[in-house]
Amino acid sequence: MNIAELQAYGYVAAMVILVILTYWYIYHLYTKKKDARGIDYEEYSNMALKDDVTDTPVSARSDDKEK
Amino acid sequence: MENRPLEYDYTVTKMFMFTTIVLGIVGMLIGVILAFELAFPEVNTILGSGVAEYTNFSRLRPLHTDAVIFGFTLSGIFATWYYVGQRVLKVSMAESGFLMFIGKLHFWLYLVGVAAVVVSLFMGITTSKEYAEFEWPIDIAIVVVWVLFGISIFGLIGIRREKSLYISVWYYIATFLGIAMLYVFNNMEIPTILGTNGIGEAGFGNWWHSVSMYAGTNDALVQWWYGHNAVAFGFTVPIVAMIYYFLPKESGQAIYSYKLSLLSFWGLMFVYLWAGGHHLLYSTVPDWVQTMGSIFSIVLILPSWGSAINMLLTMKGEWQQVASSPLIKFMILASTFYMFSTLEGPIQAIKSVNAIAHFTDWIVGHVHDGTLGWVGFMIMGALFHMAPRVFKREIYSKSLMATQFWIQTLGVVFYFTSMWIAGITQGMMWRAHDEFGNLAYSFIDTVTVLHPYYTLRAIGGTLYLVGFFIFAYNIYRTMSARPVEESELQSASPMGA
Amino acid sequence: MFHWLEKHPFFFAVAVFVMIAFAGLVEILPNFAQASRPLIGTAPYSTLELAGRHVYIKNSCNACHSQLIRPFKSETDRYGHYSRSGEYAYDRPFLWGSKRTGPDLMRVGNYRTTDWHENHMKAPSKIVLDSIMPAFTWMFTNLADINTAYAEQLTVAQFFTVPYNQPVPMKDGSTKVVKMGATLADANALALAEAKVVAADMKDQNVKDAIARGEIPEIVALIAYLNSLK
């Protein structure tokens, strides 16, 4: 098998795997509304809207340290 | 706890806002001069034939592209990073003396780099590779500036309060990594001064001269892998970073779908780099690379439109803001032009279309509806949004903003319509044969036919430049406008009449 | 998965880098060695031609002129045989260009003469009516940089084994030796000898005077380069 054939087989395999992974992940995203911390993924848009230095972070880094 | 309440520190943002405007004027002014030189060749010697070497088209052309890419756009990217980065990570640069120092060093070294580029390009010192014209000493300086930018990004991320990275930060990180990789590999070159050691009389020839590590077809392949993706990581990725922050913030609306932004981000990262081959269709690079470039260009529509649609749907239920706020107009027009040019690009990447479009003005038109419509409008929109918050002043004049918007939109329309017609006309004339199978037109026929379109394009460019002067004036006057209260700065930017 | 990355900037950056580096590896690496083999009949540039190539680059001729003939009848009718990869083996950098404001120059040496170039570079619109190309009058007074060209020859010979002073196969079965000077003085003498041949066909008195003084104006080097494009 020469390099061109290897490339072709590799390409097809990669495409199949990528398609499966992508659709699985999309399905996963749209079914699971909340993450481990109980935050809906869409709430992360608030990082832009409430971005004053005094605003409460959506998921604060200091929460980790307290644990 | 400190006694004074903590505030974001916009010192470095202000510095880069300044260079965005100044270098924007320089780059666009040179662009307008170039446009007139193509329409009226006498303009080449407008300052007399003595200095024609420095005013003619060929010497100015790299200056135009580099001034708008590495001057205007890059400054805009840096300015917005030092603004957006602090805010979405909820950490102030005032909290870290080190990052403040790096930020300022970043600016001043950048300025030195810009000066070196301007001087060297005027002198005709160039490697000839598009958007990578700089010789090796400047390349090294650029790498240093870029590393400082990286330290700023990751330094600020390191001390952040918000654990999760906002979408814009993803795109800024990608900009940093993408340009770093592309720039280094495309600029692999050997200074010729090294070769002179072999004969025992070392040190002759220009010390700054270098020779590319790659030859011919390979050089072309690497160059367009770079050239195409310099557009990706200079004109697309960081501008998407801007719109993901500024549009929701200015309109007060949350992103339509955070999930969609995630999918389009990773999609864009994966797909974009493959598409470089579409610059080399029907050339001597391997066929499969050309086909791959063509296919991935079409696939690229998906992630691009994912972002663009996400932006437009963010305005769902709030479309009246487009009518009432000129600032929202800028951003919505920008994302519309983004959709438009990311559809146009893939069309040009289809092999049979490319056969006509390649080497013609249609390509130039495509670049400019992307840069003028998308990049330019978004950066100006970002500066308009930042100005009141950075200077704590209201925007000097809303009506000037609206005037500027319409003048520039008209300019862009002039630009791309004339270039479409010019490009397709020329492409068709090149390939036309008469009934005996001879070429129907000599080359000069296909040049003279373009004169009216070149003239229209020059007018379009002039309108855009006029709009940019209005913009510069508006920002300048904003610095001395009416001060505003903190409470007025929540979402929509305050504007004077 | 991706959501986790968003909270871990280091791994996020690594993931982005892998994503973007992937395409380059697959597209560029496999054909690298093959694409740069010279075609029979392709010879390295002489010192003067290389100096002319530098003049071409210095003035961004490649901003308006391509050096890539695509395999279409209309292009081969107009410019000659379509381009093949091996013909570019000694081109560092490549000069394909991306815009044809003016015609392709890949094989301009086949159908234009020294005399034509001389007149054309002085006043393009007098030779080609309505041409929008600017005049390049300064090339008649600026001197070509032979030293840098020679330095580049030494560099490519040393680092990329470009065959100077060695026989290179030609299409008709013969061989050609492109000479490179052994010393700087030698290289300048070679370039001057070549320049005299080109200048013999030129009419500009200043150029002739310069050559007589042992100087080589840019235009002479540029024409030598353009004539070599075949």
Q: Is A59:A37 a contact under the CB 8 Å cutoff?
A: yes
Structure confidence by residue, pLDDT tens digits, B207-255: 999 999 998 888 998 999 899 888 889 899 999 999 999 999 999 999 9
Place of tokens 């496999």: C30
Residue boundaries of the structural domains of chain C: 2-30, 47-228
From the CA of C175, how many Å to the nearest CA of chain B?
22
- Residues from chain A that touch B240, judged by Cβ atoms under 8 A, are none
3-state secondary structure B412-436: HHHHHHHHHHHHHHHHHHHHCECCC
Q: Is C44:B215 a contact under the CB 8 Å cutoff?
A: no
Count of positions (residues) in chain A: 67
Residue boundaries of the structural domains of chain A: 3-55
The question of ipTM being above 0.85 is answered as yes
Helix (H, G, I), strand (E, B) or coil at B455: helix
Query: At C229, phi and psi to the nearest 5?
Result: -80, 105
Q: Is B247:B331 a contact under the CB 8 Å cutoff?
A: yes
CA gap A49, B253 in Å, rounded: 8
Using alpha carbons, list the distances in angstroms from residue A22 to A12, A13, A17, B309. 15, 14, 8, 19
Q: Is B451:B427 a contact under the CB 8 Å cutoff?
A: no
Helix (H, G, I), strand (E, B) or coil at A34: strand
**C189-194: which pairs have CB atoms within 8 A and are 24 or more residues apart?**
C190/C46, C190/C47, C190/C48, C191/C46, C191/C47, C191/C48, C191/C51, C191/C144, C191/C146, C191/C149, C191/C150, C191/C216, C191/C221, C192/C216, C194/C46, C194/C47, C194/C48, C194/C224
Structure confidence by residue, pLDDT tens digits, B61-86: 999 999 999 999 999 999 999 999 99
DSSP string, C168-221: EE-TTS-EEE----SSHHHHHHHHHHHHHHHHTT---HHHHHHHHTT--BHHHH
Neighbours of chain A (3+ CB pairs under 8 A): B, C
Using CB atoms, which residue from C2, C3, C30 is nearest to A3? Answer: C30
DSSP H stretches of helix in A1-67: 3-31, 46-49, 62-66
3-state helix, strand, coil split of chain C in percent (to 5) is 55, 5, 40
The number of CA neighbours under 13 Å toward the Cβ of B90 is 23
Which of B60, B88, B217 is most worth mutating to test chain C (most C CB atoms within 10 A of its CB)?
A: B217
Other beta carbons within 10 Å of C203: 11
Place of tokens 């050309």: B290
- H-run or E-run covering B191: strand B189-191
Using CB atoms, which residue from C1, C7, C30 is nearest to A25? Answer: C1
Other beta carbons within 10 Å of B271: 22
Using CB atoms, which residue from A53, A60, A62 is nearest to B6? Answer: A53
pLDDT of residue B1: 46
CA gap A2, B223 in Å, rounded: 27
* The amino acid at C107: R
Place of tokens 């005037």: B403
- Classify domain C47-228 at the CATH class level: mainly alpha
Q: What is the pLDDT along chain B (497 residues), one digit of tens a residue?
A: 456 778 899 999 999 999 999 999 999 999 999 999 999 999 998 888 888 899 999 999 999 999 999 999 999 999 999 999 999 999 999 999 999 999 999 999 999 999 999 999 999 999 999 999 999 999 999 999 999 999 999 999 999 999 899 999 999 999 999 999 999 999 999 999 888 877 777 678 889 999 999 988 889 989 998 998 888 898 999 999 999 999 999 999 999 999 899 999 999 998 888 888 899 999 988 888 888 889 999 999 999 999 999 999 999 988 999 999 999 999 999 999 999 999 999 999 999 999 999 999 999 999 999 999 999 999 999 999 999 999 999 999 999 999 999 999 999 999 999 999 999 999 999 999 999 989 999 999 999 999 999 999 999 999 999 999 999 999 999 998 888 887 777 888 888 87
B77 in the Ramachandran plot: left (φ > 0), alpha (ψ -120 to 50) or beta?
alpha
From the CA of C31, how many Å to the nearest CA of chain A?
10
CA gap B57, B30 in Å, rounded: 10
DSSP string, B70-122: IIIIHHHHHHHHHHHHHHHHT--GGG-HHHHHHHHHHHHHHHHHHHHHHHHHH
pLDDT of residue A67: 43
Q: Determine the topology of domain B11-191+218-482 in CATH.
A: Cytochrome C Oxidase; Chain A (1.20.210)
- Residues from chain A that touch C26, judged by Cβ atoms under 8 A, are 7
Instruction: Please indicate whether, in this complex, the C-beta atoms of A7 and C30 are within 8 angstroms of each other.
Output: yes
Peptide bond into C93 cis (omega under 30): yes
From the CA of B87, how many Å to the nearest CA of chain A?
5
Radius of gyration over every alpha carbon of chain B, rounded to an integer in angstroms: 23
What token pair was written down for B315?
A: 């305005």
pLDDT of residue A64: 63
What token pair was written down for C44?
A: 């390295």
pLDDT of residue C137: 93
A24 close to C (CB below 8 A): no
Q: Is B80:B152 a contact under the CB 8 Å cutoff?
A: no
What token pair was written down for B417?
A: 């319509």
From the CA of B205, how many Å to the nearest CA of chain A?
43
Q: List the single residue in B with minimal CA-CA distance to C38.
A: B216
Helix (H, G, I), strand (E, B) or coil at B158: helix
Other beta carbons within 10 Å of C76: 13
Which of C1, C2, C3 is most worth mutating to test chain A (most A CB atoms within 10 A of its CB)?
A: C3
Whether residue A65 has pLDDT greater than 60: no
CA gap C188, C184 in Å, rounded: 6
Using CB atoms within 10 Å of the CB of residue B260, give its burial: 0 to 12 exposed, 13 to 18 middle, 19+ buried: middle
Interface of A with C in 26-65 (CB under 8 A): 35, 41, 59
Residue boundaries of the structural domains of chain B: 11-191+218-482
What's the average model confidence in pLDDT over A27-56? 81
Using CB atoms within 10 Å of the CB of residue A28, give its burial: 0 to 12 exposed, 13 to 18 middle, 19+ buried: exposed
Cα dihedral sign for B480, B481, B482, B485?
Answer: negative
Using CB atoms within 10 Å of the CB of residue A1, give its burial: 0 to 12 exposed, 13 to 18 middle, 19+ buried: exposed
Q: What is the pLDDT along chain C (230 residues), one digit of tens a residue?
A: 577 888 889 999 999 998 888 887 877 776 676 667 888 989 999 999 999 999 999 999 999 999 999 999 999 999 999 999 999 999 999 999 999 999 999 999 999 999 999 999 999 999 999 999 999 999 999 999 999 999 999 999 999 989 999 999 998 889 999 999 989 999 999 999 999 999 999 999 999 999 999 999 999 999 999 999 98
